[in-house]
């Protein structure tokens, strides 16, 4: 029913505002660009918004130049719908979230289990690997155009959110959609080199410093890696250079919960969590006001590094003990 309602809006509407979350990943940008181009090819007018910054690893995507990072929607009221992608809540859009009340309906498209259902229409499918996979279904159902550029954006959305088809959220549907995108001319080797495998020298320098911080706790079940502002500054790196650093502690033999602690301000830290088998890190993150997926979640915390780290470890110990008891 919801899918049909949304496809009707896509078919009948003429002008749309599309947005995805700040500090975007491949799914947020790939989904935005894919539906955006499909609508443009259908003769619709679209505004594509993302507060940014957009990572260098996905800056090669076709249509990226269409994305704007500033816009005043209050000055215009003739949009037929507002689409929000990959956001557990509206605030994830960033500053613009305060200025969207005049655009209706608000259509929330997501795959996070802790989504707050903030839309007028909520298409939240926690069984989809990515929003890109949902966008593919929408494009097909609404009979919107498909081309190589759209296919590449959908492929990147799925590839990045499944960790190159390695994570637990990878499904038969993920492979089926990706396979169809290859039929449109997508080159997985070229994309993988850009998105997953290309390292800059500054990233290597940052990794060298971060690896020295790895520590194991709770009988080796929790592995942590920490990156401070000083490390970023010394390596001349930014937060995008630390993407997937969490895999280093996570893939240590015996570790169940991998943790990346990143300093994002004075006495202010972001905890990124990944689990390997049996801990639901979305539940763990929710104790600190965060959320995400069962195997990938995050939260932010204020306080000294030692204090916030100890608070987390205390809660993690309780979760590990309860889950295995």
Q: Which residue has 């995108």 as its token pair?
A: 181
**What is the pLDDT, as a whole number, of residue 102?**
83
**What is the pLDDT, as a whole number, of residue 71?**
84
**What is the pLDDT, as a whole number, of residue 101?**
81
- 241 in Cβ contact with 200 (< 8 Å): yes
**What is the pLDDT, as a whole number, of residue 323?**
67
| Phi-psi label, residue 292: left if phi above 0, alpha if psi -120 to 50, beta otherwise | left
* Cα(64)–Cα(34) distance, integer angstroms: 10
What domains are there in the chain, each with its CATH number?
A: 2-197 (3.90.1640.10), 201-324 (3.10.310.30)
* Cα(28)–Cα(31) distance, integer angstroms: 6
Q: Which residue has 């996070």 as its token pair?
A: 112
**What is the pLDDT, as a whole number, of residue 324?**
59
Spacing of C-alpha 209 from chain mean position: 25
- Contacts of residue 27, defined as CB under 8 A and 6 or more positions apart, other chains included, come to 86, 130, 131, 132, 157, 158, 160, 161
Give the dihedral sign, CA 88/89/93/94: negative
**What is the pLDDT, as a whole number, of residue 97?**
87
* Cα(296)–Cα(275) distance, integer angstroms: 7
pTM of the model: 0.84
- 83 in Cβ contact with 109 (< 8 Å): yes
Divide the 325 residues of the chain into consecutive groups of 10 and give the mean pLDDT of each group.
92 96 94 98 96 90 94 77 94 88 92 90 95 97 97 97 90 96 96 88 96 96 97 93 92 96 95 93 92 88 95 93 68
**What is the pLDDT, as a whole number, of residue 56?**
86
pLDDT tens for residues 240-251? 899 889 999 999
């Amino acid at each position: 029913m919801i899918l049909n309602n949304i496809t009707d809006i896509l078919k009948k509407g003429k002008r749309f505002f599309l947005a995805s979350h700040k500090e975007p990943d491949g799914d947020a940008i790939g989904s935005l660009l894919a539906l955006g181009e499909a609508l443009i090819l259908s003769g619709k007018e679209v505004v594509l918004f993302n507060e940014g910054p957009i990572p260098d690893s996905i800056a090669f995507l076709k249509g990226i130049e269409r994305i704007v990072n500033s816009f005043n929607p209050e000055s215009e009221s003739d949009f037929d719908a507002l689409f929000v992608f990959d956001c557990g809540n509206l605030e994830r859009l960033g500053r613009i979230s305060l200025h969207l009340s005049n655009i209706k309906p608000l259509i929330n498209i997501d795959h996070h289990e802790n989504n707050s259902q903030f839309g007028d229409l909520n298409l939240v499918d926690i069984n989809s690997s990515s929003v890109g996979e949902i966008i593919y279904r929408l494009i097909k159902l609404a009979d919107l155009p498909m081309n190589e550029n759209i296919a590449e954006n959908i492929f990147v959305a799925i590839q990045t959110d499944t960790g190159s088809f390695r994570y637990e959220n990878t499904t038969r549907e993920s492979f089926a959609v990706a396979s169809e995108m290859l039929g449109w001319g997508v080159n997985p080797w070229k994309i993988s080199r850009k998105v997953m495998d290309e390292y800059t020298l500054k990233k290597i320098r940052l990794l060298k410093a971060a690896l020295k911080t790895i520590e194991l706790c709770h009988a080796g079940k929790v592995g942590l890696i920490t990156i401070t502002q000083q490390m970023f500054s010394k390596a001349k790196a930014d937060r995008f250079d630390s993407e997937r650093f969490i895999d280093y502690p996570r893939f240590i033999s015996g570790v169940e919960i991998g943790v990346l602690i990143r300093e994002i301000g004075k006495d202010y830290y972001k905890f990124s969590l990944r689990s390997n088998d049996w801990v639901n890190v979305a539940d763990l993150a929710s104790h600190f006001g965060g959320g995400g997926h069962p195997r990938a979640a995050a939260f932010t915390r204020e306080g000294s590094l030692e204090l916030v780290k100890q608070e987390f470890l205390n809660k993690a110990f309780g979760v590990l003990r309860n889950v295995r008891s």
